[in-house]
C-alpha cells in the first residue's frame, strides 16, 4: 500500500480581525458622566456598548429587558458631513447630531451647563 500526502491549502492560524470603531477615553468620560448623573437620579439603570465596523453605540436602558431609551452613536464616516455624534431616541428619531460630543449630549441632560 503506497500512501502520499497532498497539501491542498495552507490553514491560517487565526482569521484577521475586522477593524471596529471604538469610543476613546475622553468620549467615554463624557458619556459616563451624563449616565452616572441619570443613574443617581433613578432615571436610567443599565447600558450596553457595541463596537461595529462603521459605528460605535452606547445604548441606555431604564430597565434591562426593554429597548434602549437612547442610543449615543459615533459614526466616523459622517465626520465631514453633519457630524459623527448623534443621540437617537427609542422610536429611532435623531434628537441631536453634531461634531462636538458635549453639545450633542446636552439633549440628554438639558439642565447641565457646559463649563470649559
Going from N- to C-terminal start, the domains of the chain cover: 25-105
Confidence of residue 116 (pLDDT cuts 50, 70, 90): low
Separation of CA 74 from chain center: 6
Higher pLDDT, 63 or 89: 89
CA angle 7, 9, 13 (to 5 degrees): 115
Handedness of CA 55, 105, 46, 69 (dihedral sign): negative
| Rounded-to-integer distance, Cα 34 and Cα 109, Å | 7
The residue-averaged pLDDT of 99-114 equals 82
How do residues 27-69 score in pLDDT, each as one tens digit? 999 999 999 999 998 889 899 999 999 999 999 998 766 789 9
Amino acid at each position: 500500500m503506497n500512501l502520499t500526502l497532498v497539501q491542498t491549502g495552507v490553514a491560517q492560524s487565526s482569521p484577521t480581525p475586522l477593524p471596529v470603531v471604538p469610543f476613546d477615553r475622553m468620549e467615554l468620560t463624557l458619556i459616563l458622566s451624563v449616565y452616572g448623573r441619570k443613574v443617581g437620579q433613578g432615571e436610567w439603570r443599565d447600558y450596553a456598548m457595541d463596537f461595529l465596523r462603521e459605528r460605535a453605540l452606547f445604548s441606555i436602558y431604564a430597565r434591562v429587558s426593554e429597548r434602549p431609551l437612547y442610543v449615543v452613536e459615533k459614526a466616523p464616516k459622517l465626520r465631514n458631513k453633519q457630524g459623527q455624534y448623534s443621540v437617537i431616541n427609542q422610536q429611532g428619531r435623531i434628537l441631536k447630531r453634531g461634531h462636538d460630543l458635549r453639545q450633542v449630549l446636552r439633549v440628554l441632560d438639558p439642565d447641565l451647563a457646559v463649563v470649559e
